[in-house]
Amino acid sequence: MPEVLDLCDQVPIACHAWNGDRTQIALSPNSTEVNIYQKVGKTFELKHVLKGHGQRVRGVDWAPKSNQIVTCGDDRNAYVWTQQDDGTWKPMLVLLRINRAATCVKWSPNESKFAVGCGARLISVCYFEKEQNWWVSKHIKKPIQSTVLSLDWHPNNCLLVAGSADFKCRVYSGYVKEIEDKPTPTSWGKKMPFGNLMAEFANGRGGWVHSVSFSPNGEKVCWVGHNSSITVADSASDNQITVVEGNHLPLLSVTFLSDKSILAAGHDCSPMLFDVSGTDIKFKKRLDEAGPKKAAGGVSAMDKFRNMDAKGTDSKTQGTVLTTTHQNAISAIVIHTGDKASGVKKISTSGNDGLLVTWDV
């Protein structure tokens, strides 16, 4: 059974992230603040509120090893938050050098850098400059034609996949020679100077790319689009792509659970599991079986229209109830227990209904 946490009183959760031991969670209730909850027994209690952004927070990620939180938002800023000895969190502004909203953020696997996507049609790869004692950034621009909506890192800590609103999924080199060794060749290519475009994909049908994910071995990328598609590209098979369009509503988030399994979720309000064999994708099951909407309070559709005709409104019919755990679109999937390489055991989802749900997979 899924475990449901109602921490935001039906306010949409814009983003969430767990700490290393999963005893704390950072989330933004669709506002300028980030709330940190601590697990106490079987419940979570609010412990800290991170205030620094001037506009809505769009992305948050928590580095499990260094225990640093990075946030970004509509105010075109990003902050790296470090916990002090007294337990408080201190922000450090990141020099993003962008003129549009920051939309997503993701730590690299070894936590030496992070990437920020934005509406300025570029990606900021940020790293800490020890001599100057601040976070600086390098920009990846070409050939992005619209807002960057999602990011994910390759296991080698250098390659980066990005999905954007120009209907494209692209793999770039995020290698920063100032802070890391030269990467070894991969199936995506041998030469990896910073910003080099390693691959570019379009599934031929259009749709914003809402979410992207690298496979555990780094040879495949998966992305979901607003045209209700889920696509996998395999660099080991000459970048062959496979597209599946089901009868589901558009998906908003996706992640590899292992080399042979993908989990995606979106407007259907239920996480969906897909099997991957080579370049084939097959739908397996829903973690939470969806059903038709039913009127709240047990009022039938005919009674609803009768009451509307006679009274103009009826308090008993204000809203509907889904048979799924989530009552609105799922906007984010985060790995809770396990990892892609060894197999994911549990994931968490958040959405526009203000619920945070953990699922056994």
Which CATH number do you get for residue 226?
2.130.10.10
Q: 302 and 170 in one domain?
A: no
Length of the chain measured in residues: 361
Count of structural domains within the chain: 2
123 in Cβ contact with 104 (< 8 Å): no
161 in Cβ contact with 212 (< 8 Å): yes
277: number of Cβ within 10 Å: 9
120 in Cβ contact with 137 (< 8 Å): no
* pLDDT higher than 60, residue 314: no
299 in Cβ contact with 317 (< 8 Å): yes
Q: What is the pLDDT of residue 247?
A: 87
pLDDT, tens only, 193-208: 999 999 999 987 778 9
Structural domain harbouring 169: 3-290+330-360
Q: What is the pLDDT of residue 184?
A: 94
Name the helix (H) or strand (E) containing 241.
Answer: strand 240-245
Residues 6+ apart with CB under 8 A from 159: 153, 171, 172, 173, 174, 183, 186, 188, 192, 198, 214, 218
Q: 139 and 8 in one domain?
A: yes
Q: What is the pLDDT of residue 26?
A: 98
pLDDT, tens only, 57-108: 999 999 999 999 999 999 999 999 999 999 999 999 999 999 999 999 999 9
Lowest mean pLDDT among 3-7, 22-26, 171-175: 3-7
Task: Beginning with the edge strand found earlier in the chain, give each strand of the sheet holding 113-118 in spatial order.
Answer: 57-62, 68-73, 78-83, 89-94, 134-140, 123-129, 113-118, 102-107
Q: 316 and 261 in one domain?
A: no
pLDDT, tens only, 118-165: 999 999 999 999 998 999 999 999 999 999 999 999 999 999 999 999
pLDDT, tens only, 261-279: 999 999 999 999 999 987 7
Q: 122 and 9 in one domain?
A: yes
Please state the pTM of the whole predicted model. 0.90
Rounded Cα–Cα distance for residues 323 and 24 (Å): 29
Q: What is the pLDDT of residue 258?
A: 95
Q: 273 and 317 in one domain?
A: no
Rounded Cα–Cα distance for residues 23 and 105 (Å): 22
Instruction: Give backbone dihedrals phi and psi of 308, rounded to 5 degrees, phi first.
Output: -65, -35
pLDDT, tens only, 194-245: 999 999 999 877 789 999 999 999 999 999 999 999 999 999 999 999 999 8
Mean pLDDT of 159-175: 97
* pLDDT higher than 50, residue 295: no
* pLDDT higher than 70, residue 299: no
Q: 316 and 233 in one domain?
A: no
Q: 78 and 185 in one domain?
A: yes
